[in-house]
Amino acid sequence: MTSPTLILPERSHVIPSDLRAAIGVDKVKDDYSTLTAYAVDASIYRMTPQAIVLVESEEDIAATVRYAVQRGIPLTPRAAGTNLTGSAIGSGIILDVSRLNRILELNREEGWARVQPGIVLAELNKKLARDGLLFGPDPSSGDMCKLGGMLANNSSGPHTLRYGAVKDNVAALRVCVAGCQGIWVRRSELCRSAEGA
């Protein structure tokens, strides 16, 4: 007796096709293996997305956000996927920021750095250590986790009393919202927003 053949439900290829036309063929994935890999993070949850977008610039992010908003498609940013809450998985488009992984600017005198969201915490601190600097929040996944995910989770760690959580170490964010290429949000604005919530 042969085992029954597994029949997978049909998926629409419209979303990945549209995204390829908007931002490039090599940046959009929807093959079975990739979707299966992105259906999980370090949590116990599983949710298969429609497409994975491997962004390489702010323009890629803006185009993806614009497309998702116009069509009402859920959009989930993802860094390393090391969180335990299921916040790096989603049923729509996964926006993977791993390729945005550089230090853009370092001010040694004032003790700050401008970084992209895909930089790994351990790599950032290795580079900062050359100048006697440190990004203080230290979650247990520090060898793998990325700054974008740490920001999304407001990560901390065993030295929180000394260094604080991520929110205590961020002066400004450049964010992409619907209808806008990117805007800067300063710490004072972040604090006012949190108080009003």
Rounded (5°) CA angle 33-38-44: 120
Residue 9 has pLDDT above 90, yes or no: no
CATH number of 103-170: 3.30.465.10
With the CA atoms of 75, 101, 109 and 138 taken in that order, what torsion angle do they form, in degrees rounded to the nearest 10?
A: 70
According to DSSP, the residues that pair with 112 across neighbouring strands are 107
Contacts of 104 (CB under 8 A, 6+ apart): 114, 115, 116
Per-residue pLDDT tens over the stretch 107-152: 999 999 999 999 999 999 999 999 999 999 999 999 999 999 999 9
CA distance 128 to 108: 9
**Two domains, one topology: 14-96 and 103-170:** no
Distance CA 100, CA 112 (A): 18
pTM for the model stands at 0.85
Indicate the average pLDDT of the chain: 89
Q: What is the pLDDT of residues 50-77, one digit of tens each?
A: 999 999 999 999 999 999 999 999 999 9
Q: Residue 113 corresponds to which amino acid?
A: A
CA distance 142 to 123: 9
In degrees and rounded to multiples of 5, residue 135 shows phi and psi of: -90, 110
Give domain limits for the chain: 14-96, 103-170
Cβ atoms of residues 83 and 104 within 8 Å: no
Percentage of the chain exceeding pLDDT 90: 80
Give the residue among 113, 178, 123 at the shortest CA–CA distance from 146. Answer: 123
* Across 77-98, average pLDDT: 95
Q: Return phi, psi of residue 17, to 5°.
A: -65, -45
Q: CATH assignment of 14-96, given 3.40.50.150, 3.30.43.10, 1.10.3720.10, 3.40.1350.10?
A: 3.30.43.10
